[in-house]
Amino acid sequence: MQIRKSTAIRRQQIVDIIRNIISSKGIEHVTISEIAEKIGTTKGAIYRHFKSKRDILSLLIDNVEETLMDALDNALMERDPLQNLKNILLAQLILAKNRRKTSFVVVMGAMQFSDPFIRKKILKLIQKYLRRIEKLILNAIGLGLIKKNIDPKMSAIVFMGLIQSAITVWSYKNFNFVPQKIHAHLWNVYCQGIGVSFDA
C-alpha cells in the first residue's frame, strides 16, 4: 500500500524530478505520465497537486528563482562589487557541479515550452537576475573599477551568457569539471571584456 506524502514534500519531489527530466531529456519529455512513472505513483496522484503542466512548470520556475537568488545573495559578501561578481560566478559554477540540474539549464529548457504565461514568468526571472548583476556593474563603474564606456546592461547579459554557455557545455560532459579551476579562466575572460585589471 502506497503511503501518501504531504503536499509540500510531494511538490518538491515533483520539482526535483522535472529538473532531472529537463536537464537530461528536454522539456518535451515533461509529461504527467513521465513524472508519475519517475515518482512511482499514478497520474491521478500528480493531478491532486497540480491542475496542469503549466502549474508544474510555474512551481519549477518559482523554485529556480529561489535557488538563483539565494545563491546570488550568499555570494554578496564584500563591499567590492567586482569581488561580488567574482563570487557569484564561482557560486553558480559550484551550484551547477553540485546539483547537476542547474537552474540555468532548467530555465533554458523550460523556455522551449510555448505557453505565454510560462515564457513571461521565465523572462521576469531572467530580468530580475540581470538587474542584480547590472547593479553590481554600475557600482563598479562608479568606483572606477572598470571602464566608464562599458554598457552595464550588455555586460550583465554577457556575464549570464558566460555562465550559461559554460554550464551547457559541461552538462553534456556530465558536469565533469572543477569549478575553482574553470572559474579563474572565465573570470579573466570577463575582466578583459569589461576592462578590469587582473588584480581584481
Q: Where are the beta strands (DSSP E) in the chain?
A: none
For the segment 119-126, the average pLDDT, to the nearest whole number, is 90
Is 153's pLDDT higher than 80? Answer: yes
On whether the CB atoms of residues 130 and 48 are closer than 8 A, the answer is no
Q: Which residue has the higher pLDDT, 27 or 131?
A: 131
Domains of the chain from N-terminus onward: 1-50 (1.10.10.60), 53-192 (1.10.357.10)
Residue type at position 7: T
Is 129's pLDDT higher than 80? Answer: yes
Helix (H, G, I), strand (E, B) or coil at 39: helix
Question: Chain-centre distance of CA 191, in angstroms?
Answer: 22
Find all residues with CB under 8 Å of 23, minimum gap 6, and list them.
100, 101, 102, 105, 106, 109, 171
pTM over 0.85: no
- How many CB atoms are located within 10 Å of the residue 153 CB? 14
